């Protein structure tokens, strides 16, 4: 790998790590505006993270070493996944043949350890949250493999960077295909980052929580790592979706960057709008909501398998 591409990779990783709380702030601000409030400042997530660092870490007496190592493993796995993402035209830090599998399972590893840690603490609420998280993950994983996997299948590449580079918008059916894929990636993002129709990030009732309930007993630096990695995770999925619009960067780098930023802004508005106008689904309705996104992926795959 050349020096410039390593530099590009480092810069994009730093951008992802630095800007992810800002994105959450943006979504929260827009949500506040939609509901007629002024809302917290855009930088509020940064302040919250700063506050958490200063606090003391307390572990439950019943917890084992798993609770101690999980926040770090969770954070590192998410950061490694973030290092594989191309921001617009930039070459990612980690990129090799077949890295979509590693990408999916790095996020899977993070979730696995989080579920383990929630069970480890021994609180019944957290066990319930872990059960829910694991159940919905079963339905969320096929979405990733059927959508991103189907683009990999069509383009013939297995690295995220190459896949996004092979997208061309001059073919009209490819445009529809990308739009359809971005619907299911949006549903995936909403699910994995426990946003509104699946999980309410602001809920205060343990019985209805999914993701938040698993980190109830964490504090201080542990909670900081969990929160920060959940911000990064949301940003990762947003970038995954925004990268579908990469082809605009072929003409000029500035146009590519501008469109990238515009798409990210539109996505934040879409997230905020969805969270404002919809209420949470009943727990039993979530599986078929997720299966719907999988169905879209399967449809893509079917169309491109049988009609070439």
Partner 1 sequence: MQNILSILFCLSLFYLAVTPRVKAYVAVLRFQGILLTILLMVPFVEQFSVFAVILPATLFIIKVIIIPRYINKIILELDIKRTIEPTIQQFNFLLLVIFSFIVIFLASSILSLTTNIETIPFASGFAAVTVGIFIIIFRKKLIVHVCGFLVLENGIFLFGTAVASDLPIMIEIGVLLDVFVVVFLMGIALNRISSTFEGFDVTILRRLKD
Binding site for partner 1 (CB under 8 A): 172-173, 176-177, 180, 285, 287-289, 291-292, 294-296, 298-299, 302-303, 305-307
Structure token pair of residue 2: 């050349």
**C-beta of 175: minimal distance to partner 1 in Å?**
8
Q: Is 172 exposed, middle or buried (0-12, 13-18, 19+ CB in 10 A)?
A: exposed
Q: Is 278 exposed, middle or buried (0-12, 13-18, 19+ CB in 10 A)?
A: exposed
> b/e string for 75-99 if b means 16 or more Cβ within 10 A?
bebbbbbbbbbbbbbbbbbbbeeeb
Q: Which is nearer to partner 1, 250 or 299 (CB)?
A: 299
The CA distance from 13 to 19, in Å, is 10
**C-beta of 183: minimal distance to partner 1 in Å?**
8
Q: Which is nearer to partner 1, 134 or 295 (CB)?
A: 295
**C-beta of 151: minimal distance to partner 1 in Å?**
15
**C-beta of 307: minimal distance to partner 1 in Å?**
5
Q: Which is nearer to partner 1, 34 or 289 (CB)?
A: 289
Three-state SS string across 97-110, please? CCHHHHHHHHHHHH
Helix ranges (DSSP H) in the chain:
3-34, 44-54, 65-83, 99-121, 124-155, 160-166, 172-192, 220-242, 253-277, 286-306
Q: Which is nearer to partner 1, 248 or 304 (CB)?
A: 304
Q: Which is nearer to partner 1, 177 or 228 (CB)?
A: 177
**C-beta of 172: minimal distance to partner 1 in Å?**
7
CB-based contact 106:253 (threshold 8 Å): no
Q: Which is nearer to partner 1, 198 or 272 (CB)?
A: 198
| Cα–Cα distance list, 217 to 59, 62, 67, 123, 251 (Å) | 8, 11, 10, 9, 50
Q: Is 133 exposed, middle or buried (0-12, 13-18, 19+ CB in 10 A)?
A: buried
Q: Which is nearer to partner 1, 65 or 306 (CB)?
A: 306
**C-beta of 199: minimal distance to partner 1 in Å?**
19
**C-beta of 164: minimal distance to partner 1 in Å?**
21
CB-based contact 21:45 (threshold 8 Å): yes
**C-beta of 143: minimal distance to partner 1 in Å?**
13
**What secondary structure does DSSP assign to 179-217, as a single string?**
HHHHHHHHHHHHHHTT-TTT--TT---GGG-SSGGGGTT
Q: Which is nearer to partner 1, 118 or 185 (CB)?
A: 185
């Amino acid at each position: 790998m050349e020096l410039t591409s390593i530099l590009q990779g480092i810069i994009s990783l730093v951008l992802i790590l630095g800007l992810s709380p800002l994105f959450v702030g943006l979504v929260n601000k827009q949500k506040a505006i939609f509901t007629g409030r002024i809302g917290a400042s855009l930088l509020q997530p940064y302040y919250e993270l700063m506050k958490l660092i200063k606090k003391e870490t307390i572990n439950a007496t019943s917890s084992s070493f798993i609770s101690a190592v999980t926040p770090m493993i969770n954070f590192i796995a998410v950061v490694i996944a973030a290092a594989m993402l191309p921001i617009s035209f930039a070459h990612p830090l980690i990129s090799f043949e077949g890295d979509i599998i590693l990408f999916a399972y790095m996020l899977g590893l993070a979730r696995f350890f989080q579920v383990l840690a929630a069970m480890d603490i021994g609180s019944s609420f957290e066990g319930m949250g872990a059960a829910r998280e694991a159940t919905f993950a079963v339905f969320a994983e096929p979405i990733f493999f059927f959508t991103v996997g189907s683009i990999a299948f069509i383009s013939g590449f297995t690295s995220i960077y190459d896949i996004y580079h092979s997208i061309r918008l001059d073919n009209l059916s490819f445009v529809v295909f990308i739009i359809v894929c971005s619907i299911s990636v949006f549903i995936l993002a909403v699910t994995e980052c426990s946003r509104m129709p699946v999980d309410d990030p602001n809920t205060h009732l343990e019985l209805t929580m999914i993701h938040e309930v698993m980190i109830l007993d964490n504090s201080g630096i542990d909670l900081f790592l969990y929160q920060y990695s959940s911000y990064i995770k949301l940003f990762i999925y947003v970038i995954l979706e925004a990268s579908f619009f990469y082809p605009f960067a072929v003409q000029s780098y500035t146009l590519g960057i501008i469109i990238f930023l515009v798409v990210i802004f539109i996505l934040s508005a879409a997230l905020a709008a969805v969270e404002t106008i919809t209420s949470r689904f009943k727990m039993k309705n979530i599986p078929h909501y997720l299966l719907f996104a999988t169905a879209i992926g399967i449809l893509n795959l079917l169309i491109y398998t049988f009609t070439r």
